[in-house]
Amino acid sequence: MPIYAWICDACSEGFETSCGMHDARPEVMRCKYCGEKAAHRNWQAEQSGVDNTCWEQAQWSDGLAIHPKQRAEAEEFNKRMGVPHTEYDGVGRPGFRSRKHRKVYGEAWAAFDRDGGYGDAQPGKRPAEEFLDA
């Protein structure tokens, strides 16, 4: 059965469904996360051949991990720096819900990939040291 990718306009969550070749495929579908009938086909995810949830689910970073005991302090810092909705897993790895989220978080923490492109965090954009004592 073919797999169809969907993205919800209400909550921005992505998910996949499968249905038979001859089954009716609705234009708008009910989101399996928020329940709103606002999910549209995600053609880009379907045509690219990658999992639809690639950027809709958190991408965990080992390089930007914190110690689990520092979670409350890190969450407060994230609020001050403009990235308040960053999730951390059980071992302290931050989860990014989009490439932009990863970029803003990296710039807030003054962390960047030397081989990164224009869509990645850039050195010197928002030095975190200014806000540590604030």
Nearest Cα to Cα of residue 14 among 36, 41, 35: 41
- The lowest-confidence range among 42-46, 49-53, 105-109 is 49-53
Q: Are 78 and 64 in contact (CB under 8 A)?
A: no
What are the pLDDT digits (tens) for 56-113?
Answer: 456 888 888 999 999 999 999 999 888 888 888 888 999 887 778 888 888 888 888 7
Can you give the pTM of this predicted structure? 0.52
Across the range 29-51, mean pLDDT stands at: 75
H-run or E-run covering 131: helix 129-132
- Decide if pLDDT at 21 tops 80: no
Which fold, 3-54?
Answer: Rubrerythrin, domain 2 (2.20.28)
Of the chain, the percentage scoring pLDDT greater than 90 comes to: 10
**Domain coordinates of the chain in residue numbers?**
3-54, 59-132
